[in-house]
Amino acid sequence: MAVGLSSQFLESLLTPGRLALLWVLFVVVSFIVDIARLPRCPESLPRVGSGRGIIASVKNWVLYVSRYNDWIADGYEKYNKQGRAFVAPSSPSRPLEIVVPRSQTAWMLEQPDRVLSTKEAHRDSLFNDYQFGVDDQFPIRTIHKHLARNIVSLLPGIQEEVHAAIDDVFGTDTENWKTLNIWDSLIGIISRVTNRMLVGEPLCHNEEFLKNQVAFADAVVRNGLIMGLFPKVFHPFIGPLVTITNRRAWRKTYEIGKPIIEQRLRDLERKESSPDLQVPEDMLTWLIRQAKAEGAADELDPVMLSKRLLPVEFAAIHTTVLTAQNILLDLASSDPSLGYIDAIRKETSEVFKEEKGTWTKDGLASLHATDSAIKESMRFSYFARGLTHRKVIAPEGVTNPTEGWHAPEGSFLMLDLAGVHHDPETFPEPGKYDAFRFLKIREQLDPKNPEEAMKIKRLGMVTTSPEHLTFSHGRHACPGRFFVAHELKMILAYLLNNYDIKHIEKRPVPDWAGATVIPPIKATIEVKRRKAAESL
């Protein structure tokens, strides 16, 4: 009888409406707890968004997805340009961001890693613990040590892959125009080319392997946006759930790649006693060498090696596709009378003939017009509001010497890439895509003058600066940017010399979801293979 009364009491108490109310209260309390745990930003700094306090914070979270880009742009004009930092709203799971002005770039980037951490900023921004299952520091060290010293030997294979991939995707019909989805086409090309460097043949030609590497990268972007909308108390539940797609994609790539990884491990073991044995020079080989050099036996497990490739696959594929899509859209939508495509075609064709049909590091470095067109697209068509972030990890926090504000442990600092790149005080007519903006500057300088020679050197797309932040800046600038530069130049050279591209009347523009760009993935382009006499 007592049990029956208890059941009736619970049924009357836990009605669907009351359960829904309890859930809403739990969510609200979770957000309040999240706010209470976040580090306090300096009160002396101005803010953009809806202001201060819990109500303002909730309002900012609601508006974050649609208004973030506008908030940062507003703060740049009002405060950064006057040399002041400002505080910007962030997603529910992250602290407010302190946007540091360009005039204080050196101070921010010169702070030691024990004070301002790039690693921890990336870890929090991408939710590494859930998305990758491993940190990105081991592959980053590997790239720093091995990529630059092997870049020359990689070029012939990269060239071969670029030419074959473009032929396969764009076709060889010289009579009829072909309409292609730009995003899908570039994913097909760049995933192959990137994996030629990462895992070599035959994996870079395995469509199932490539499809799942791309699926993993897609999942990282999508899941990062989803997790950012939940307070941290939800992450232990939401994280494993939404990243099922990550694990599924990785598992498929591992099953395909496992025999190759195991064979590579055996080959490198044999090479120690047989130095003449030829082993491919790619990221997989470098990871194994790095593990042996560091005495890290656990890094030599095939599962771990496969997972170590994931952060590099993510970083290398999507950002390069975004950049390449922007370049094609910027060139194809420019006034044809400006002659951008013709000039790039002429430069690359002439240098390629001088190279006798095989690209070299020096030959690619001499493509000044092509380099300028790519760098200008990076400036004009940004795909992230900011790419330079730091997290305060020093227990005592950090104090800004210029303005005197203090950021406690856990705070986030960032540089506004888009504001700098579109500042008319730095780049005249910043809202205009001028493919040869940097080439014109180069032509006005004297390479024999030591001071002007240094200015010329800084004009290249791989040279970062407080005004060129696409690859970030400072000692943590993108270590793979030299490979990306060679890759993009080869793609642009082969594409423009072997295909005609129809002019696009109106350039498609991206959308934004918070700090994440949503590229125009439905944008198309019309191409036709040029006849052999016109081709590269």
- Render pLDDT for 218-228 as a digit per residue (tens, 0 to 9): 999 899 888 88
Q: What is the mean pLDDT of residues 506-522?
A: 89
Mean pLDDT computed over every residue of the chain: 90
Decide the pairing of beta strands 116-117 and 388-392: antiparallel
Residues 60/89, Cβ–Cβ less than 8 Å: yes
Q: Tell the residue number behind the tokens 């859209």, with chain if given.
A: 329
Residues 6+ apart with CB under 8 A from 426: 420, 467
Q: Check pLDDT > 80 for residue 12.
A: no
Q: Which helix (H) or strand (E) holds 179?
A: strand 178-181
Looking at residue 10, its pLDDT comes to: 46
Q: Check pLDDT > 70 for residue 267.
A: yes
- pLDDT band at residue 33 using 50, 70 and 90 as cut-offs: low
DSSP state, 413?
Answer: E
Looking at residue 9, its pLDDT comes to: 45
Q: What is the mean pLDDT of residues 63-81?
A: 93
What does the alpha-carbon distance between residue 96 and residue 41 come to, in Å, rounded to a whole number? Answer: 7
Q: What is the mean pLDDT of residues 39-64?
A: 82
Distances (CA, A) of 134 to 128, 261, 350, 439, 515: 7, 18, 46, 42, 24
Q: Check pLDDT > 50 for residue 472.
A: yes
Per-residue exposure over 357-375, b if at least 16 CB sit within 10 Å of its own CB, e if not: eebbeebbeebbbbbbbbb
Q: DSSP for 17-34?
A: HHHHHHHHHHHHHHHHHH
Using alpha carbons, select from 378, 359, 362 the residue that is nearest to residue 463.
Answer: 378
DSSP state, 383?
Answer: S
DSSP state, 474?
Answer: G
What does the alpha-carbon distance between residue 7 and residue 149 come to, in Å, rounded to a whole number? Answer: 73
Looking at residue 150, its pLDDT comes to: 94
Q: DSSP for 35-103?
A: HHHSPPPPTTS-B-SS-SSHHHHHHHHHHHHHHHHHHHHHHHHHTGGGT--EEE---TTS--EEEE-GG
Looking at residue 15, its pLDDT comes to: 66
DSSP state, 445?
Answer: S
Residues 6+ apart with CB under 8 A from 239: 127, 129, 130, 227
What does the alpha-carbon distance between residue 111 and residue 113 come to, in Å, rounded to a whole number? Answer: 7
What does the alpha-carbon distance between residue 113 and residue 101 come to, in Å, rounded to a whole number? Answer: 20
Note the pLDDT tens digit of each residue in 101-139.
999 999 999 999 999 999 999 998 889 889 998 888 899
Amino acid letter, residue 420: V
Decide the pairing of beta strands 499-501 and 524-529: antiparallel
DSSP state, 467?
Answer: T
Q: What is the mean pLDDT of residues 323-344?
A: 97
What does the alpha-carbon distance between residue 248 and residue 521 come to, in Å, rounded to a whole number? Answer: 24
Q: Check pLDDT > 50 for residue 198.
A: yes
Looking at residue 300, its pLDDT comes to: 95
What does the alpha-carbon distance between residue 456 and residue 450 come to, in Å, rounded to a whole number? Answer: 10
478 is in an annotated binding site: yes
Q: What is the mean pLDDT of residues 271-291?
A: 92
- pLDDT band at residue 4 using 50, 70 and 90 as cut-offs: low
Paired tokens of 42: 């300096």
Using alpha carbons, select from 491, 475, 474 the residue that is nearest to residue 483.
Answer: 491
Decide the pairing of beta strands 406-407 and 398-399: antiparallel
DSSP state, 282?
Answer: S
Cβ neighbours of 475 (radius 10 Å): 9
Note the pLDDT tens digit of each residue in 347-401.
999 999 999 999 999 999 999 999 999 999 999 998 888 999 999 999 999 999 9
Residues 97/206, Cβ–Cβ less than 8 Å: no
Residues 51/40, Cβ–Cβ less than 8 Å: no
What does the alpha-carbon distance between residue 53 and residue 154 come to, in Å, rounded to a whole number? Answer: 54
What does the alpha-carbon distance between residue 378 and residue 195 come to, in Å, rounded to a whole number? Answer: 23
DSSP state, 242?
Answer: H
Lowest mean pLDDT among 29-43, 192-206, 518-532: 29-43
What does the alpha-carbon distance between residue 340 and residue 318 come to, in Å, rounded to a whole number? Answer: 25
Residues 410/397, Cβ–Cβ less than 8 Å: no
Please tell me whether residue 528 adopts helix, strand or coil conformation. strand
Using alpha carbons, select from 317, 316, 330, 319 the residue that is nearest to residue 525.
Answer: 330
Decide the pairing of beta strands 412-415 and 97-100: parallel
Please tell me whether residue 294 adopts helix, strand or coil conformation. coil
- pLDDT band at residue 49 using 50, 70 and 90 as cut-offs: confident
Q: Tell the residue number behind the tokens 């995933």, with chain if given.
A: 191
Q: What is the mean pLDDT of residues 301-330?
A: 94
DSSP state, 476?
Answer: G
